[in-house]
Amino acid sequence: MYKVLVTDKVHEEGLNILKRNGFEVVVDLDAYRPEVLKERIKGFDVLIVRSRTKVRREVIEAADRLKVIARAGSGLDNIDLEAAREKGIKVVNAPDALKNAVAELVIAMMIVVARKAMYSYRALLEGKWEKVMGTEIAGKKLAVIGFGRIGREVTKKARELGMDVIAYDVIDMSDVAEELGAKFTKDLIEAIRDADFVTLHVPLTPETRNLINKDVIEKMKDGVIIINAARGEVMDYKALLEALESGKVGGAALDVYPEEPPQSEYLLKLIRHPNVFATAHIGAQTKEAQRRTSIEIAHRILQALGI
Ligand code: NAD
């Protein structure tokens, strides 16, 4: 019988699929810390995590019968893929299940920042009636940085709302862009140069760390609005804070941070900036996405084990 350890909150529907297939499923939400996981992982064939659990090399090396690591979500940057490969452990994820949830949040964030709605809300909480002046998103230019599943979903929705979209990716996807009525470029600066909105959808890799840095921000249009629901580390948040303070960047919406929860002074300053709307990594936090993700992950685990 296969034994499954679950260390983050995962929807029960997917876990029930595994149980119906004869798996023993142990949910241990305290085991997410590496020093604990290193001990608890022993005896388990499958490990299911979301983004909170960091599956580092020492955990993978301590495992004695692990066959599959399943990430109930899409980004794999919390898993040491190299260490897993060396031990022949398969890594599976559920990349399609949550793209709509993230894309919907991104669209909402663009509108909130464009209308300065977070500013009006904060003022109301302080008893002030502030009739702030915003802009519309229809007819504006959106640069989608990373034209994968989420980037394409955002493009689809943005086009329906009347935005002009230019997509940037390292892989040529001009055909897909054309189908969605968007332009495509393999040149980052060309993508961001005239954009009113820039939204980030690249995975965190050594190449994308600090992809949106001070130099890139300087080349953006004055007053640009930037959305980051990818990973905090793909953007230099110190440079973003400076650009917000100078007015170069008109507004930003952030769902992800280089430390979660954010505690450093500059991150707290960023979150509290009047032109910033910030959420706590809730991109995939919808009932629908979590349910779909757990089901997709269950099927991928069965497939990986040849069942
Ligand atoms: P995906 O793999 O489908 O797409 C990523 C795209 O980025 C690919 O097309 C790839 O070619 C491109 N890319 C990779 N390196 C690049 C580079 N250096 N420059 C330009 N493009 C590059 O992934 P996805 O499902 O669209 O998800 C994207 C990311 O969103 C995930 O990796 C994850 O970090 C993040 N995410 C966040 C949340 C959230 O809750 N906020 C939820 C899900 C995913």
For residue 128, the 8-state DSSP code is -
Å from CA of 51 to ligand 1 middle: 14
pLDDT at residue number 5 = 98
Report the alpha-carbon distance of residue 185 to residue 56 in Å, rounded.
Answer: 35
Q: What is the pLDDT of residues 158-168, one digit of tens each?
A: 999 999 999 99
Task: Name the residue with the closest Cα to ligand 1, atom 35.
Answer: 230
pLDDT at residue number 137 = 98
pLDDT at residue number 290 = 96
Task: Name the residue with the closest Cα to ligand 1, atom 27.
Answer: 150
The angle subtended at Cα 246 by Cα 235 and Cα 140, nearest 5°, is 65
Q: What is the pLDDT of residues 204-238, one digit of tens each?
A: 999 999 999 999 999 999 999 999 999 999 999 99
Q: Are 265 and 296 in contact (CB under 8 A)?
A: no
Listed in order, the ranges of the chain carrying CATH 3.40.50.720 are 3-93+287-305, 99-278
Strand, helix or coil at 269? helix
Q: What is the pLDDT of residues 76-123, one digit of tens each?
A: 999 999 999 999 999 999 999 999 999 999 999 999 999 999 999 999
pLDDT at residue number 103 = 98
Q: Which residues pair with 27 in a beta bridge?
A: 6
Measured from the CB, is residue 201 less than 6 Å from ligand 1?
A: yes
Q: What is the pLDDT of residues 283-297, one digit of tens each?
A: 999 999 999 999 999
pLDDT at residue number 285 = 95
* pLDDT band (50, 70, 90) for residue 192: very high
Q: Are 199 and 145 in contact (CB under 8 A)?
A: yes
Would you state the structure tokens that stand for residue 100, as one six-digit string? 């709509």
Q: What is the percent of the chain with per-residue pLDDT over 70, rounded to a whole number?
A: 100
Measured from the CB, is residue 255 less than 6 Å from ligand 1?
A: yes
Å from CA of 168 to ligand 1 middle: 12
Kindly list the catalytic residues.
231, 260, 281
278: phi then psi, degrees, rounded to nearest 5: -130, 140
Strand, helix or coil at 51? coil
| CATH superfamily of domain region 3-93+287-305 | NAD(P)-binding Rossmann-like Domain (3.40.50.720)
| CATH superfamily of domain region 99-278 | NAD(P)-binding Rossmann-like Domain (3.40.50.720)
Q: What is the CA radius of gyration of the chain?
A: 21
Average pLDDT over residues 32-42: 95
